[in-house]
A and B are shown apart, each in its own frame.
Chain A
Amino acid sequence: MTAMQEFKRHPLAKYLRVERFPHIWCAGCGDGIILNCFVKALDDLGIDMNKFAVVSGIGCIGRAAGYIACDSFHTTHGRPIALATGVKLANPKLTVAVISGDGDLFAIGGNHFIHAARRNVDMTVICSNNFNYGMTGGQSGPTTPLGSYTTTTPYGDIEHPFNLVHLAAAAGAVYVARWTVLHVKRLTESIKKALQKKGFKFIEVISPCPEVYGRRNKLGKAVDTMMKYKQISEIRHGYDPAKAEITVEKIVVGEFVDIEKPTYGELLKKQFMAVQQKLKGG
């Protein structure tokens, strides 16, 4: 049996465009684990892959859209949420997920993130946060920890990073969670919960980038970095996201926000009914 034949026998292979493998990710990258958790969640939920769309931006994890066997769009840098807004609003029957990175979603695409959250457009946004721009070789980004070394912060980063869960909560997301890639089961459950919930949902996944971030910051082997991220994490459901800043000593993980709020689509539908009623002379 060839490797490909064997791969096709994998129970989750039907959710993947197996002909596109091997993927582009480096050994030790967390993105493969995120993809794995994601398709496991799809399988557990029995998602209809013909009514499911994944949109991604530019960056390493941005390639995930092209690996999942559903309608998928690999957009311009920073724009997946804006494009996904168009997809979801034009065809509300589709379940829409955005999978992208910290640079794509929060630097170049930051404005789209906060406004989609504010509008409460029905989509699940998963962010692989590896603290740098991996695909372009390790530059600093909006989540790079203060003092970290990257190719564009050769003397150490002097910018304060975003606390993504706080940002998402403040912008209005109805579900906000954070996990590391070693919280495989919890992350999978979180993705399932988000996919079933209405509104703008956000999951941050702390993911190692051993090749271009880890090495420069002497984080050791990929597995060690993953272990470290998990070891310093502390599960605190319902914790105030404002206080959940990531530090070298601690990463607070868990579900920070889980609330109900009318979605853009629901409010629109209501308005549509009212307008139609009025037009009929009601």
Chain B
Amino acid sequence: MSMQREVLTGKHLMQGDVACAEGAIAAGCRFFAGYPITPATEIAERMARRMIEVGGMFVQMEDELASMAAIIGASWAGAKAMTATSGPGFSLMQENIGLAVMTETPCVVVNVMRGAPSTGQPTEGAQQDVMQSRWGSHGDYGVIALAPASVQEMFDLTIRCFNLAEVYRVPTFLLADGFTGHLWERVVIPSPEEIETVQRKKPTVPPDRYIPFKPDDDLVPPMACFGEGYRVHVTGLTHDEYGYPKTTDPQIQHKLVNRLCNKINENADKIIMTHEFMLEDAEVVVIAYGIPSRSSLNAVRKARKTGIKAGLLRLVTVWPFPEKQVEELSNRVKAIVVPEMNCGQVVREVERVAKETPVHFLSKIGGELHSPSEIFRVIRRAAKA
């Protein structure tokens, strides 16, 4: 297979959803299962056309329950696997997202968020599923979620999602939104050599000495896939290091669940990515993620022009929450402004970490983006207070 076909190196005018699909292919994704849903359908459509070209597998399943189940199966059969959806489908996927967490299955789930609850606003962008992505399946666990703010990042961060999923053996979310998914922008796709891709860690011992769920020091166990001769047993039940159900032993539940949380928490520094703009001397800081970070940057620049020492901390990684970065910042700034396209989700995390520092929340729902001037007005008010 020629790499030229797999990685469309060059400059393109591309839609966000399409860039996400291309990012997945460049990351090595060779299995896609999905179900049509606005505003994520274009990802499935692109994958239907492209997977067969690169020797991969596209299957349209009967629903999102099945799509999520299929990518877990495919991942255990050795493929890098992805599905893409929006809120209603994301809700259906929660069941098997929990299964992926419990079975430590590397996989990528794209949620191109739209107005919610329920069927809500299919064609309008939103950020209303951020807490769902963290806590949507029952139980305690850790996940990784990245929020793209441009078509370029729909490409770049999809690759990063795959790499993180492979390293930490965890379902990893690309939390996009309907605006970014449907946006057309310039994308620069690098050459294959310039794209860093990561493969899951394999066992280094023969089958008779392999303990499938025994973690290494990084808390992640090496993964033997189906057909490789290791004959692993995988279950959603609480299991011991051999993968066998042990559902009534408190110690085993304690050890397993804590590790599922800690493999993300303790590796947070390696996972978390933030972008900083004019933070050095900032007194009022906007903390944003996804598409609102673009209007935020504009607002910060506007504030600087009027003499306000404003800055922006952009959370590329939303989960695990960049606590250290936010805490460090909150200790030295006068106020924090959080714009979100929901009624207040990540702002709760910011408030939790920022403690006494005043946090101004700017909600926007309904299908409109924050305008730079409305963010600017909040910055100005926060600066005066």
Question: Which A residues have a C-beta under 8 Å from some C-beta of B?
Answer: 17, 20, 49-51, 53, 55, 63, 65-66, 69-76, 78-79, 82-91, 93-94, 111-112, 115, 268, 271-272, 275, 279
Contact = CB atoms under 8 A, between A and B. Distances in A.
A82 B64 CA distance: 10
Contact of A74 (B5, B95, B234): B234
What does DSSP make chain B's interface, helix, strand, loop or mixed? Answer: mixed
Most chain A beta-carbon neighbours within 10 Å: one of B55, B59, B81, B245: B59
A76 B229 contact: no
A83 B226 contact: no
A66 B240 CA distance: 13
A82 B66 contact: yes
Contact of A89 (B69, B74, B232): B74
Contacts, number: 143
A115 B236 contact: no
A86 B245 contact: no
Contact of B69 (A65, A71, A76, A272): A76
A112 B62 contact: yes
A86 B67 CA distance: 9
Contacts of A55: 73
Contact of B74 (A51, A90, A268): A90
Contacts of B78: 90-91
Interface in B331-369: none
Given A50-B231, A82-B69, 20 more contacts: A50-B227, A50-B229, A72-B234, A73-B73, A73-B235, A74-B234, A75-B99, A76-B69, A79-B95, A79-B96, A83-B73, A85-B33, A86-B72, A87-B76, A88-B73, A90-B75, A90-B79, A90-B81, A91-B77, A94-B226
Contacts of B33: 85-86
Nearest to A95: B227
B53 interface: yes
Contacts of B234: 72-74
Interface in B114-132: none
Contacts of B53: 275, 279
Nearest to B236: A76
A74 B73 contact: no
B237 interface: yes
Most chain A Cβ neighbours within 10 Å, of B61, B227, B230: B227
Most chain B CB within a 10 A radius of its CB, from A66, A69, A93, A275: A66
B291 to A, nearest CB: 32
B74 A82 contact: no
Contacts of B73: 55, 73, 82-88, 90
Contacts of A50: 227-229, 231
Nearest to B55: A272
B52 interface: yes
B31 interface: yes
B7 interface: no
Task: Give the one of B5, B81, B231 with max A CB within 10 A.
Answer: B231
Contacts of B5: 279
Contacts of A66: 233, 235, 244-245
B57 interface: yes
Contact of A82 (B55, B70, B226, B244): B70
B245 A112 contact: no
Contacts of B229: 50
B63 interface: yes
B57 A90 contact: yes
B219 to A, nearest CB: 23
15 contacts: A71-B76, A71-B226, A71-B232, A71-B233, A72-B233, A73-B76, A75-B72, A82-B62, A82-B70, A84-B73, A85-B69, A89-B57, A111-B66, A272-B55, A275-B52
A89 B79 CA distance: 10
A65 B233 contact: yes
Contacts of A49: 231
A55 B79 CA distance: 17
